[in-house]
Amino acid sequence: MLSTRSLGCRGGGVGGSWGLPGVATPRIPDRQRIAQDIRDKISSGEYGPGFKLPSLREMSAHYGVSAEPVRSALLILQAEGLVEGHQGKGVYVAGDHPASD
């Protein structure tokens, strides 16, 4: 009988690190990676309520991707209620917003 050790598994079980030689680990899609990074910044307080997120262009350059994965990540976060988009003004962390001019 094969054990996880004989298969080269480190950790085993669900979510374990397989570490099989020559087998690529599944890559996390850019939109999910970006959404998780922004989630982490919100939960750490780096991006507080009302914080205006960088522009689409700035985030695309920062993450090294086209605008589409950034847009998709923002839609995910908006569906989760973490950010709010305001036409022509930008995307803000949900919560209190600075007064409009």
Q: Is pTM, for the whole model, over 0.75? A: no
CATH architecture classification, 30-93: Orthogonal Bundle (1.10)
Q: What is the pLDDT of residues 8-39, one digit of tens each?
A: 444 444 444 555 666 677 889 999 999 999 99
Helix (H) or strand (E) holding 76: helix 67-79
What is the structure's pLDDT at 101? 37
Residues 46-98 pLDDT 10s:
999 999 999 999 999 999 999 999 999 999 999 999 999 998 999 999 985 44
The answer to whether the CB of 38 falls within 8 A of the CB of 53 is yes
Question: 44-49 long-range contacts, Cβ below 8 Å, gap at least 24?
Answer: 47/93, 48/93, 48/95, 49/93, 49/94, 49/95, 49/96
What per-residue confidence (pLDDT) applies to 25?
72
pLDDT of residue 26: 82
